[in-house]
Amino acid sequence: MEVDFAQWYTDIVKKADLIDYSSVKGCMVIRPYGFAIWENIKNDLDARFKATGHENVYMPMFIPESLLEKEKDHVEGFAPEVAWVTHGGSEELQERLCVRPTSETLFCEHYANIVHSYRDLPKLYNQWCSVVRWEKTTRPFLRSREFLWQEGHTVHATAEDAVEETERMLNVYADFCEDDLCMPVIKGKKTESDKFAGAVSTYAIEALMHDGKALQAGTSHYFGDGFAKAFGIQYSDKNNTLQYVHQTSWGVTTRLIGAIIMSHGDNNGLVLPPAVAPVQVVVIPVAQHKAGVLEKANELTERLKEKFRVKIDDSDNSPGWKFSEYEMKGVPLRIEIGPKDIEKNQCVLVRRDNREKTFVPLDNIESEIERLLKELATSIYNKALKNLENRTYACKTVDEINASLAENGDGFIKAMWCGDEACEDKVKELTGVGTRCIPLQQEHISDTCVCCGKPAKHMVYWGKAY
């Protein structure tokens, strides 16, 4: 990991059986173990969306070229990287269809059909699907030509309601990342040059990986009424006057799996947060050929299944081989149980993150597992938080940024900015780091822009990004 982070990452996605490559460049096979992580992410997030009043729908995967072109900024942002369907069977289509890179245009067309009165608002829709963006450089989970995601699309009566929704969903994402992925994030606003094609403003959560590079883990966009005007989404208000709706969209992707790997993994492999681990506890019988061991291990597994995602490995492989296997796969807790343990009515619990061993009486093993899973979650969160804090550097000038990079390597740079895009570009050119976000929680580093020395408007997080 310390020597070649990129290779370490690629090794893990393969060795932990998360993905297989397919014959289409940039499209991956998500294997059962990888997909089960995504299912857990999905189930948890979906419950959070439903608890905040959202409903799931399914939109077509194809967008006619003329529909994609309806909103000017949007088509400019996406057209260069879409896959085009030109033929159905042996016939050439009259109009090209793109495979959705994102579904704003489809939701807008639908909302224009179904929204008529203020009574119809808000509409809070979400969909889980795959989307396609024809990227040149691809990496499993982090940047792939096809990826799985959810995209929320909402329409509201007022700008205030839409802004509130944008912030609400940013917070839902941040809470999910912190609670369930044990990954601290910075909540902030993207700069103008970095916002979503067609948005008034884009908010994001940014996390810091082991290697000091930033990863945008989720985005939430406020659209104002720009799309509504382009697509004619209007409603009659209480005074029977026609008004345009105000709109948002927000999404997270399978990229979160990449974030988990690079936040918590180590030289033995994955370390999975208990909330999304496909297997939370693996039971490994020791000296399993001896009388009673397998029976007891199976009995324990069945008992634990009522409370945890648990699996027994009673294959012919040696215990040592199994220990490595489940360390590679990041299973949070391992139970070792052999003849001596059975005699003493106990077993051994080993934490994945620090390999700490605890001897636990079988009688109250459930509460011990619960305690250790919680401790592990807190512990890997704190470790990731410490990484983020230790690798965040305040800089007042471009020279200080370069000095920090030379001395400390990659990380977040906190520095002031005048708000001018020219300075953003120049810092990038001179240091290699770009703006990540204008954090909602502002700090004062200095009075003047890190680049031009004019009065500063914002404190900005800068960094290199995945």
Q: Is 20 left (phi over 0), alpha (psi -120 to 50) or beta?
A: beta
Quote the least distance from Cβ 270 to a second copy, whole Å.
18
Report strand pairing: 201-208 vs 186-189.
antiparallel
Residue closer to a second copy by CB (options 22, 364) is 22
In angstroms, rounded to a whole number, what is the distance separating the alpha carbons of residues 363 and 35?
34
Beta strands in 315-382 (DSSP E): 333-337, 346-351, 357-361
In angstroms, rounded to a whole number, what is the distance separating the alpha carbons of residues 353 and 5?
19
Quote the least distance from Cβ 254 to a second copy, whole Å.
9
In angstroms, rounded to a whole number, what is the distance separating the alpha carbons of residues 255 and 191?
22
Q: What is the dihedral of CA 128, 133, 138, 143, to 10 degrees?
A: -40
Binding stretches for a second copy (CB under 8 A): 20, 22-24, 27-32, 35-36, 38-39, 55-64, 67, 79-90, 97, 99, 106, 109-110, 113-114, 125, 129-130, 132, 134, 145-146, 148
Residue closer to a second copy by CB (options 146, 424) is 146
Quote the least distance from Cβ 55 to a second copy, whole Å.
4
Residue closer to a second copy by CB (options 148, 415) is 148
Beta strands in 316-457 (DSSP E): 333-337, 346-351, 357-361, 392-394, 412-417, 434-439
Quote the least distance from Cβ 66 to a second copy, whole Å.
8
Dig out the tokens for 289 from the structure: 């050929």
- Tokens 């960094």: give the residue: 463
In angstroms, rounded to a whole number, what is the distance separating the alpha carbons of residues 328 and 201?
40
Quote the least distance from Cβ 14 to a second copy, whole Å.
11
Quote the least distance from Cβ 67 to a second copy, whole Å.
6
Residue closer to a second copy by CB (options 99, 433) is 99
Residue closer to a second copy by CB (options 66, 367) is 66
Residue closer to a second copy by CB (options 57, 394) is 57
Q: How far is CA 2 from the centre of its chain?
A: 23
Amino acid type, 18: L
Quote the least distance from Cβ 213 to a second copy, whole Å.
26
Residue closer to a second copy by CB (options 98, 373) is 98
Quote the least distance from Cβ 291 to a second copy, whole Å.
25
- Confirm if 227 and 108 have CB atoms less than 8 A apart: yes
What residues contact 266, with CB distance under 8 A and at least 6 apart?
1
CA 373, 375, 380, 382 dihedral sign is: positive
Residue closer to a second copy by CB (options 143, 428) is 143
